[in-house]
Structure 1
Amino acid sequence: MSGPLGDSQSSDDAITRKFNATNAKRIALLVVIALIAYHGVLHLTYGIKSCKWLLSDGSFHGFGDYSVWQPYGCMIHTYNKIDSRMCLRYIAYWGGKNHIVFLGDSRIRQLYYAFIKTCVPNENLINTAYPAHHDLEYKERDLKLDVRFLWHPVVNESMTKVFTQWLSLQVSERPNLIVMGSATHSIKSSNASVKALEYYRKNLTLLMPSLDKLSASSKILWALQDPVSSEKLDVGRVMITNEQIDAYNKAAMEILKYSNSNNVHIWSSARLVAQGYASDLSNPNEDGLHTNNKALNFAAQILFNMYCNDQMNYNDGTCCSDPEIMTTLQIIVFIVFTLFIVIATVILIHRKYFARKSYKWHLLVNEELDELTDNNNPRVLNTEIKSYSELMICLAKIALIMFYFFLCDRTNFFMKENKYFTRPNFFLPIAYVFALGLFFTEESSHTIVLHRDQTDELKGWMQMIILAYHYTGASQVLTIYMHIRVLVTTYLFLSGFGHFTYFWQTGDISFHRLWKVIFRINLLVVCLCLVMNRPYQFYYFVPLISFWYLVIYTTFYAIPHVTAASAEANPIQYLYMVLKFVVLFSIVTILYMSEVFFEKIFLTRPWKALFVTTDDSIKEWWFRWKIDRYSVPAGMLFAFGYHLLKKHHIIDDNHHGYLFSRGIGFIVAIASFAGIMMYVIFTMMCRNKPECNEIHPYISFIPIVSYIILRNISGLLRVRHSTFFARIGKISLELFICQYHIWLAADTHGILVLVPSYPVLNVVITSFIFICIAHEIHKVTQKMVKYAIPSDWRYTTRNIIIFLLFLIPIGIKDGMF
């Protein structure tokens, strides 16, 4: 075709050929390799420990009530009194000590008070009756806790003597943490003279050998001085300027950087925190010199994260925390995965370098193959070789992806940061994505209610909202939490609708179909359980939909078998289907009303390990099951009612017109809109999560059915769909599971940081890689289904037996057998 239109079309085709899923995944692979190289250089330069980052750098995220301090590259846990005392008790229980010393001026005394307020059960126990310039001490014998403040406001011989005394003591009697700092007293007493600064520099240099020697048994932090609010200083302190403080801080950094010990640290992040709150009107400094309480609380949190994280292993506290130790099972799995990669590499090399041999060599190979085959047909053997090659390449791809998962979330190689919530952070990305989704719309070839394009679209935009919800930590807002609960319920509702429709229309209740669906749903999660050392229940959504699929299958498999064809031939079978629904809803209600009966069923071996967490608790499964206990049955019932209405011509969706007559359609539309608004009002009226969760199962179907009716009542709306959301919806299950470790981090408690210091770019890069991996897993899973669950029942049985034998050692480990 010639002309402008033809040139434009050929240009579009060229762009489409270049920017496809395959090329996108190639780009993602190159980006991952580049990021691995970049972070490798960072670790070679600065080390792999995140304590240095915690103590040196960070920034504020959010604003107002949602403002939080984010250390550079690692996650900070918020220690309350219970957490802090648990940490101190844990250290004391294992023979350690909690001997902590704060040494310096009045600002260090503030840190002392902030630290003990975080761990003291009753603040009245803190003795504040001492004079200002006096040593302080707080002790608790059962925690082996001895926290002291030593008043040494100037770096001089008296400070050196303290270190000399500590060095004369036995190692067990020395402090295990020393927080020190000094400057403002020297500035004030010398009227900011240059000689005082030189005296400070000289004495700190003389103190360095003692610091290095003591650091063999103690961790030492030199806290840089916080800025002052000059306009609030009284007349006796006006010489303490920020220029003077900066000069003293610079001198301290120049001297301490030559320390020969890894246990002597310059603590600069506390200064950055105080600087961020210097002009905070809600937390004003009382005198312009001392740090306000909010900054002190953040500083105390930094100290506890440094001191406790490696002991407590909180999921949201990765700063100063070593990664998990690999288990024997993980090592075995990685060895097997490595073999897959090696074999696949050999196959690819063979294809590339040996497939271009001469025709004579090709004939020779075919003759040898003829001798190896009983039927003298080398094509059969060639086909089998190609099949096994494709299977091995699929396994190698899974192995490489699992290595990336492990690198992201079971090591400290890539950085992690805490989530922080603000309403703009949650709603603006959703608005952008919805604008993009509405831009890419087209007409579907289907006209029926909840056709495949429509359900994929629905799953797609719901998944995008859920991802934004998890990424920003929006669960703290009750209204948002309850709307997300509806989206999760909708997934289960659609699962019930879709599987019921398939069984009802096809009557296919074969075991081949059963295992095919179970394999497709569970492949990724089983691999993650083995690689990431997490129980099956950790990925709660997959156990949930797997369980409910088995329930749907059992409902149809139970005698009498009822399908659309059998019911058409014998209308009494409609009654049998209704009775099955009555039994199903009754069993679900009985299980909910008797938690003891529920536990007896699901805590029975050998399937107990599928429903408990690592601490052998079934509470997580109980919560997930009961909150959406009626969702799948409701979806099944909706599908049954929908097919009955179609059969009796009450609704007609085989054309592009309305489902109902104009008058009935108007009434139904108003009722549906009212149903959605009713649920919105409910989410705004309920007061707490337990109360909302208790009511949710009984009314969650209302907004779902209302949306489905509004989406399908008009033929124009029914056939239009967003191709962007539909493509996302096709991989929604993979997106939901993959987000745990390669988009979020620390088992969803934080976010993965591949590009530090550039949050927007980091979201773009991590999201691009995340979506490409989810798409590849979806594609590989579809290929592997035909090998794992072949159409021949004998091979399927063989594979299931091999899989069960493979699970025996895992089952013994987890207490299944």
Structure 2
Amino acid sequence: MAGALERSTRDLTEKCTVENAKRLAFPLLAVILSLHGLGFYFSQQSGYDTCDVLLTTGYYLTPKQWQPKGCMMHKYKAGEIGRCLQNQRVAFIGDSRVRQLYNSFLTEFTGKEFHDAIVHSDLSHTEQSTNTFVEFRWQPHINDSTIDLYQTWISGKIQKPNLIIHGAATWAIKDFKGEFSAIEQYKTNLSKVALQMDTLNKDPDVKIVWILQAPVVEPLLSGPRKVITNNQIDLYNDVAYAQFRNSDIQVWQSVRKTAYFSQSPPKDGLHVPDDVIETNCHLLLNWFCNKDIDPADATCCKGLPFPLTLHQKTLIIFFTFCFFGSLFMFTRVKKKHVRQPPDAALCEAGEGQLANGQLPNGHVKEIENRQSEEMSSNEELYNTFVALTKFGVILAYFYICDRTDLIPKEQKHFSYLQFFVAFAYIAVVGFFFDRETKQPTLLNRDQTEEWKGWMQLVILIYHVTGASTVLPIYMHVRILVAMYLFQTGYGHFSFFWKKGEFGIVRVCQVMFRLNFLVFFLCLAMDRPYQFYYFVPLVSFWFVVVYVVMVIPPRATVKTAAEHPTHYLLMTVKLAALFTVCALIGFSEVLFQNMFNWWPMVKLFAWPGTSLHEWWFRWQLDRYVVGYGMFFAFAYISLSSMGKIKDNNPANLFSPILTAIIVIGSILAIVVYTVHAFTCSTKPECNEVHTLLSLLPVTGFILLRNVPGYFRTKYSSFFAWFGKISLELFIGQYHIWLANDTKGILVLVPHYPTLNKLVSSFIFVCIAHEITSITTTVTKWAVPNNTKVVLRRFFLFCAMLVLLLLAGV
């Protein structure tokens, strides 16, 4: 029994591989996309779009954060509202509830508080800076006065509004004490007004919205208002909805839900809380303004990003070519696998080379070698075409997720519970998969992969939970970015210092691996290179490390062994690097002048032509890469001198010194944590972070490596994620998060936890597949042949220049 259970467990473990996971992810994703596609198709057939979503459905993510179904809304600022409403006229028509919306609208627009200074009368406000006229018309009943108002606009006696928000019912309920005859009269009058509204709405410059009535809090109603029951409100709403549902007048239904599901304390039973009115105001602004203002963090009511750009069309052609290329190479490879008959070899050799009716042995080997090389070349090209075809499908998925309305998006909402539960979960799982490393050296490969893995998972949690709004968490994530950059300096310096290989092949291989995914995403997603800031950052610092090492006289371990003065030379180079970083860091103007030339400004400017974002990212951790180089230099030098012996599982130093270093490391981390909790603003925190970040980086390394027990252990779970950390970091922008990281992708609606599990599973599988594709394509694109690499390098540079000239 025990043996059978053990065999079953072993069989299950063998089947739980990443390849099998990817085989499961593909059909699962196909089913999900098909379901979303069908839903999208039928919604389009019925004329339903994300504009309708804003004013019809939704729910609260938090007590004060409203989420339209399937899309993201923007919280408008005064300047944006001014741009939207420039030279526009807006009219609010109705009772005191509509007046609430009018006041909130003006408060958001002007930045000044508006209150009910005069009740039961018309109000108006003109914003001179934008030539915007906003008015409120006191029309608590639907009657002849309402009809006359619309007729004056239709006739042109008064300039017609561009946006009309109209709603009324509670006064009819109150004045007629909820009598049934009042509903019939309301229906008759509304049908007459609807004719005027339809006529006015035919003007392409006019939009009309009818507001359904929000529910009341019946126990709080007093006096004559007690007759305004929710049953009565529902009857009047049914009349209005029936009147307008088949017309072009937009019926605003979500005002009922924003009020009904609100957890804010009610005011007087009739009027809705101020935060609900504010939410309604932003729903209206998103509905009216999104197509013109195009806010970056909104997807509601913006439409599809068609037509495709020239770069996107070019990509379609390129990947189509790869697909047919893979089919063609498949036939060649399969054909070559069929062994050539002897007659074919004879024909190739030529009759003059026959000896006794046979080929010489040397020539037979030559033919076999040539056939083997040709077979290898064909298979490599076939594998490359297949990899690129897969990559094209993956890019199409990126586009579908983040540039169309096919997949719903949801706004982020932060909670400490959500963040720390996820953090604790990955920590427990990671520690469960502890392993003994085969290389107990300081910062060994297993450990650095683990380091990158857990950092990347924390960054993913940070992004998906919207934790950037919490300053201490933001500052600790800044440390994780600094640690990544430390590894950039440490790893590349170690390679150049130990190997002494400075050829163009190594440089191109590293740059290709770093930029392969981002290069195609820039084209497919129509984003600038600097948008994916981390890749430009590590690419830049790799070039800096290379330049420092390659500048003559070159110093390596080998040359230093022969000429000890090369240790001093390397120290001078590192000191010069720190000095240059310090001098440039004091002046943003100097920095911008260094990059403000073509094509650098095209690569590093964002948004628009601004280099400020690139300056901010660069100067924030400008010393940590150099510090990583210095750390590697010191460690390798001390190891070669026998001062550090880390090829065994023992502590690096004596017990007393080890204890002192461990305590000091913990204090170094605590110092930064105290700083993160005590600084008050991001600029203030970041200013100190540049130098202070070296403390927790050093503290973590020493804490992780000085005690032998910690140095010889690593988490295989975190290390696995570390191998695909770059693809996870970049891929999250579009296929795990949404709208360029501003929202969350919703593959499984209505079930948040299940959605995170499914979308995370698919996301990780795709990231792993991209890593495999990058490895395959790199072998073909950057082979170990300097002449071939140089030719392809210049070809790529020419292509890049063309893309930059075309405005990529």
- Does residue 1:442 correspond to 2:432, yes or no? no
- Does residue 1:274 correspond to 2:259, yes or no? yes
Match of 1:289, as an amino acid?
A: L
- Does residue 1:45 correspond to 2:29, yes or no? no
Question: Residue 591 of structure 1: which of 565, 584, 587 is its match?
Answer: 584
User: Cα offset for 1:387?
Assistant: 1.6
* Whole-angstrom CA distance in 2 between matches of 1:368 and 1:180: 91
Preserved CA contact (<8 Å) 2:103 2:115: no
- Does residue 1:714 correspond to 2:707, yes or no? yes
What are the within-5 Å matches in structure 2 for residues 45-84 of structure 1? Answer: 45-47=42-44, 49-63=49-63, 67-84=64-81
Preserved CA contact (<8 Å) 2:453 2:719: yes
Check 1:667–1:359 CA distance in 2 against 1; reply closer, same or farther (3 A cut): closer
Check 1:366–1:718 CA distance in 2 against 1; reply closer, same or farther (3 A cut): farther
Preserved CA contact (<8 Å) 2:305 2:404: yes
Q: Normalising by structure 1, what TM-score?
A: 0.91
- Does residue 1:734 correspond to 2:712, yes or no? no
| Structure 2 partner of 1:99 | 89
User: Cα offset for 1:158?
Assistant: 3.4
- Does residue 1:137 correspond to 2:124, yes or no? yes
Question: Residue 159 of structure 1: which of 122, 146, 151 is its match?
Answer: 146
Q: Deviations for 1:327-349, whole angstroms, at most 9, x for unmatched residues?
A: 2222222222232234335656x
- Does residue 1:417 correspond to 2:410, yes or no? yes
Question: Residue 249 of structure 1: which of 231, 237, 240 is its match?
Answer: 237
- Does residue 1:147 correspond to 2:126, yes or no? no
Match of 1:558, as an amino acid?
A: I
| Structure 2 partner of 1:183 | 169
Preserved CA contact (<8 Å) 1:369 1:378: no
Q: Deviations for 1:14-55, whole angstroms, at most 9, x for unmatched residues?
A: 323433222222222222222222222222222363111111
Structure 2 unaligned regions, length at least 5: 351-362
Match of 1:587, as an amino acid?
A: V
Moved more, 380-389 or 580-589: 380-389
Match of 1:252, as an amino acid?
A: A
- Does residue 1:113 correspond to 2:103, yes or no? yes
| Structure 1 partner of 2:214 | 226
Question: Residue 598 of structure 2: which of 605, 608, 626 is its match?
Answer: 605
Question: Residue 554 of structure 1: which of 544, 547, 557 is its match?
Answer: 547
* Whole-angstrom CA distance in 2 between matches of 1:722 and 1:365: 58
* Whole-angstrom CA distance in 2 between matches of 1:82 and 1:490: 39
Preserved CA contact (<8 Å) 2:92 2:99: yes
- Does residue 1:341 correspond to 2:326, yes or no? no
What are the within-5 Å matches in structure 2 for residues 615-634 of structure 1? Answer: 615-634=608-627
User: Cα offset for 1:153?
Assistant: 1.8
* Whole-angstrom CA distance in 1 between matches of 2:34 and 2:567: 64
Structure 2 counterpart SS, 1:238 = helix
Moved more, 407-416 or 136-145: 136-145
Q: Deviations for 1:249-306, whole angstroms, at most 9, x for unmatched residues?
A: 23322333232x3xx22212222112233x523xx41x21111211111111111111
| Structure 2 partner of 1:212 | 198
* Whole-angstrom CA distance in 1 between matches of 2:804 and 2:380: 31
Check 1:84–1:13 CA distance in 2 against 1; reply closer, same or farther (3 A cut): same
Q: Deviations for 1:486-515, whole angstroms, at most 9, x for unmatched residues?
A: 000000001111111112222122211111
Structure 2 counterpart SS, 1:139 = strand
- Does residue 1:332 correspond to 2:314, yes or no? yes
- Does residue 1:307 correspond to 2:307, yes or no? no
* Whole-angstrom CA distance in 1 between matches of 2:147 and 2:749: 40
| Structure 2 partner of 1:197 | 183
User: Cα offset for 1:543?
Assistant: 0.8
| Structure 1 partner of 2:658 | 665
| Structure 1 partner of 2:301 | 320
Count of matched residue pairs: 787
* Whole-angstrom CA distance in 1 between matches of 2:519 and 2:533: 12
Preserved CA contact (<8 Å) 2:601 2:609: no
Match of 1:780, as an amino acid?
A: I
* Whole-angstrom CA distance in 1 between matches of 2:244 and 2:27: 40
Preserved CA contact (<8 Å) 2:433 2:716: yes
Question: Residue 692 of structure 1: which of 666, 676, 685 is its match?
Answer: 685
| Structure 2 partner of 1:95 | none
Check 1:346–1:60 CA distance in 2 against 1; reply closer, same or farther (3 A cut): farther
Preserved CA contact (<8 Å) 1:457 1:721: yes
User: Cα offset for 1:129?
Assistant: 4.7
Q: Deviations for 1:215-262, whole angstroms, at most 9, x for unmatched residues?
A: 322322221211112222112211111222222223322333232x3x
User: Cα offset for 1:381?
Assistant: 2.6
Q: Normalising by structure 2, what TM-score?
A: 0.92
User: Cα offset for 1:466?
Assistant: 0.7
User: Cα offset for 1:673?
Assistant: 0.9
User: Cα offset for 1:203?
Assistant: 3.4
| Structure 1 partner of 2:2 | 4
Match of 1:213, as an amino acid?
A: T
User: Cα offset for 1:626?
Assistant: 0.2
* Whole-angstrom CA distance in 1 between matches of 2:38 and 2:201: 28
Structure 1 unaligned regions, length at least 5: 93-97
User: Cα offset for 1:142?
Assistant: 5.3
Structure 1 counterpart SS, 2:178 = coil
Check 1:703–1:310 CA distance in 2 against 1; reply closer, same or farther (3 A cut): same
Preserved CA contact (<8 Å) 1:223 1:268: yes
| Structure 2 partner of 1:573 | 566
Preserved CA contact (<8 Å) 1:369 1:381: no
Structure 2 counterpart SS, 1:56 = coil
What are the within-5 Å matches in structure 2 for residues 465-476 of structure 1? Answer: 465-476=458-469
Q: Deviations for 1:395-431, whole angstroms, at most 9, x for unmatched residues?
A: 1111111111111122222222221111112111111
Q: Deviations for 1:101-120, whole angstroms, at most 9, x for unmatched residues?
A: 21222211211111122112
Match of 2:238, as an amino acid?
A: K
Check 1:230–1:366 CA distance in 2 against 1; reply closer, same or farther (3 A cut): farther
Question: RMSD over aligned Cα, in angstroms?
Answer: 2.6
Match of 1:270, as an amino acid?
A: V
| Structure 2 partner of 1:386 | 379
Q: Deviations for 1:712-745, whole angstroms, at most 9, x for unmatched residues?
A: 2222221111111111111111111111111112
Structure 2 counterpart SS, 1:414 = coil
Check 1:381–1:416 CA distance in 2 against 1; reply closer, same or farther (3 A cut): same
Preserved CA contact (<8 Å) 1:591 1:598: yes
Q: Deviations for 1:678-701, whole angstroms, at most 9, x for unmatched residues?
A: 111111111211111111111111
Structure 2 counterpart SS, 1:61 = strand
| Structure 1 partner of 2:224 | 236
Moved more, 731-740 or 135-144: 135-144
Q: Deviations for 1:613-661, whole angstroms, at most 9, x for unmatched residues?
A: 2411110110000000001101111111212332333332111111111
Preserved CA contact (<8 Å) 2:264 2:273: no
Structure 2 counterpart SS, 1:565 = helix
Preserved CA contact (<8 Å) 1:603 1:611: no
Give me the identity figure in percent: 39
Check 1:639–1:369 CA distance in 2 against 1; reply closer, same or farther (3 A cut): farther
| Structure 2 partner of 1:265 | 250
Moved more, 642-651 or 467-476: 642-651
Moved more, 787-796 or 411-420: 411-420
Check 1:394–1:365 CA distance in 2 against 1; reply closer, same or farther (3 A cut): farther
Check 1:565–1:221 CA distance in 2 against 1; reply closer, same or farther (3 A cut): same
Moved more, 657-666 or 75-84: 75-84
User: Cα offset for 1:99?
Assistant: 2.1
* Whole-angstrom CA distance in 2 between matches of 1:639 and 1:355: 49
User: Cα offset for 1:584?
Assistant: 1.0
User: Cα offset for 1:752?
Assistant: 1.6
User: Cα offset for 1:477?
Assistant: 1.1
Preserved CA contact (<8 Å) 2:93 2:164: yes
* Whole-angstrom CA distance in 1 between matches of 2:723 and 2:212: 53
